[in-house]
Amino acid sequence: MATLELSIQHEVAAPVRRKRKLGLLFWIASLWLAIILALAILAPVLPLQNPTDMDMLERRAAFSSEHWLGTDGLGRDEFARLIFGARVSLTVGLIAPMIGLGIGGALGLLAGYFRGRFETLVVGSMDVLLAFPPLVFALAVTAYLGQSIPNLTIILGVLGIPAFMRVARAATLTLARREFVIAAEALGASHARILLRELLPNVILPLLAFFLLGVAVTIVVEGALSFLGLGVPPPMASWGSMIGEGRDSLDVAPRLAFLPAAGLFLTVLAFNLVGDTMRALTDPRQGAL
């Protein structure tokens, strides 16, 4: 979880970069993301084997024409599970940071703009959330609400709120002192207008950059929760839960852990590359600092 905090203010004070071409890496990364996303979305209609059908006597089978990437510890088709796993990992990984982005972003924007008691209240509640051990939160909420992808997404989303709040608040604080905001205030613009027309478009950029990092972190944290039995309910798979299961077969079939780990690695890397490049291209303060 700690990693969610990384980009508190530095995303705002983004580094100056020379404008450069998107580069080959960016395109490779985008292509990879496009493929993974397409596979994940189309998984149910693709001619894949059923990812939950077991062949209990064909456990941990090697690569073959029938099972392209072999079978897992319970004799399920590894390739199908990887693709359906991507579906789960990406669903959780994209939606949970959206919750953080929406709620945390809004709170941070308002706190940074209105300041005063409201800000203290928001920052204080976020501190409460931060001071509370996240695993205890996840365990208790799962125990109460039951295990499902929506619940898991909500838990991860809520845990991400403080980080997004901080990013948004820090960005708003710097922007609120800028000339264009002061000018708008002087011209008698309403709070809503200033917030929506002047601040939001500028705050959203660092938030979006942070969002892409949040996606990567969420996918990894979901894996950790799956390892602890708090992740997606079986027989569904996520990349994280597959790594956790594969870990028991490291000796016999290391690929069961390393294939989903490689998928995770490449996807996180790709999200990061795309995120970085996009931020470098769109950062409004580029050159202004």
Partner 1 sequence: MVAFVARRFLYVVPVLLAVSLLTFLIASLLPGDLAYVILGDQATPEKVAALRHDMGLDQPIWWRYLSWLGHVLQGDLGRSFRTGQTVLQAVSERIPVSLELMLMAEFIGLLIGIPLAIACAARAGGAFDRFMTGGAFAMLSMPSFLLAILLIYLFAVELRWLPATGYVPFTEEPLANLRFFVLPALTLALAEWPGIMRVLRSDMIATLQEDYIALAKAKGLKPSRILFVHALKPSSLTLVTVTGINIGRLLGGTLIVESIFALPGIGRLLVGAIYTRDLVILQGVVLLVACGFVIVNFIVDMLYAVLDPRIRHGHA
Partner 2 sequence: MTNIAAAARKRAPIFLVAAFALLPLANPAQAQKPGGSITVGLELDVPGFDPLKVGVYDAAVLTPAAAIFDTLTYLDDKGEAQPKLALSWTHSDDFKTWTFKLRPGVKFHDGTPFNAEAYKANFDRQKDPANKCRCAFYIAAVNNVQAPDELTVVYNLNDPSVNYPTLVSYPNQNAAVHSPTAWKTRGDDYNRNPVGTGPYVLKSWTAGDRMVLEKNPDYWDKDKVYLDRIILKPLPDAQSRFASLQSGEADIVWDDEYDADNIQKAQKDPKLTVHSYTGSGTQPYAFNTKTPPFDDVRVRQALVMAIDRKKMSQAITNGLAKPASNPYGDGSWVKCKDDGALPFDVAKAKALIQAYGKPVEFKTVVTATPRGRIVGQVLQQFWKNVGASMELDQVDQATIPPRAFMRQFQLIPWRIVDLADPDPQMFANFHTGSPVALANYSNPELDKLLEHARVTAEVDKRIEDYCAATRLINKEAIWFWTFQNTYYAISSANLKGLPKMYSGMIDVSRVWKE
Residue 260 and residue 242 in contact, taking contact as beta carbons nearer than 8 Å: yes
Give 178's contacts (C-beta < 8 A, 6+ positions apart): none
Residue 165 and residue 157 in contact, taking contact as beta carbons nearer than 8 Å: no
| Dihedral of alpha carbons 280, 216, 8, 192, sign | positive
The closest alpha carbon to 14, from 207, 227, 223, belongs to 207
Of residues 166 through 195, those in contact with partner 1 by CB under 8 A are none
Contact partner, 135, from partner 1, partner 2, none, Cβ < 5-8 Å per class: partner 1
Told to check if 34 binds partner 2 by CB under 8 A, we report: no
Q: Amino acid identity, residue 238?
A: S
Q: How far is the CB of 78 from partner 2 (least distance, A)?
A: 15
> DSSP letters of 211-240?
HHHHHHHHHHHHHHHHHTT-SSPTTS--HH
Told to check if 213 binds partner 1 by CB under 8 A, we report: yes
Residues 117-156, mask of contacts with partner 2 (x by CB under 8 A): ----------------------x---x--xx---------
Give 26's contacts (C-beta < 8 A, 6+ positions apart): 273, 274, 277
Enter the DSSP assignment of 48.
P
Pick one of 13, 15, 34, 53: the residue that binds partner 2 (CB under 8 A).
Answer: 53
**Helix runs in 72-146, H state only:** 78-99, 105-114, 116-131, 134-145
What's the N-to-C CA distance of the chain in angstroms? 31
Q: 225-249 burial string, b = 16+ CB within 10 Å, else e?
A: bbeeebbbeeebbbbbbbbbbbeeb
Q: How far is the CB of 160 from partner 2 (least distance, A)?
A: 23
Residue 278 and residue 209 in contact, taking contact as beta carbons nearer than 8 Å: yes
The footprint of partner 1 on this chain (CB under 8 A) covers a number of residues equal to 62
Pick one of 118, 193, 247, 284: the residue that binds partner 2 (CB under 8 A).
Answer: 247
| Closer residue to partner 1 in complex, CB, 48/264 | 264
Q: How far is the CB of 86 from partner 2 (least distance, A)?
A: 20
Of residues 116 through 155, those in contact with partner 1 by CB under 8 A are 120, 124-125, 127-128, 130-137, 139-141, 143-144
Contact partner, 52, from partner 2, partner 1, none, Cβ < 5-8 Å per class: partner 2
Q: In the complex, which residues of this chain contact partner 1 (CB under 8 A)?
A: 1-3, 5-11, 13-18, 20, 25, 120, 124-125, 127-128, 130-137, 139-141, 143-144, 213, 216-217, 219-220, 223-224, 227-228, 240, 243-244, 247, 250, 257, 261, 264-269, 272-273, 276, 289
Per CB under 8 A, residues contacting partner 2 are 52-54, 56-57, 59, 73-75, 139, 143, 146-147, 229-230, 233-235, 244-245, 247-252
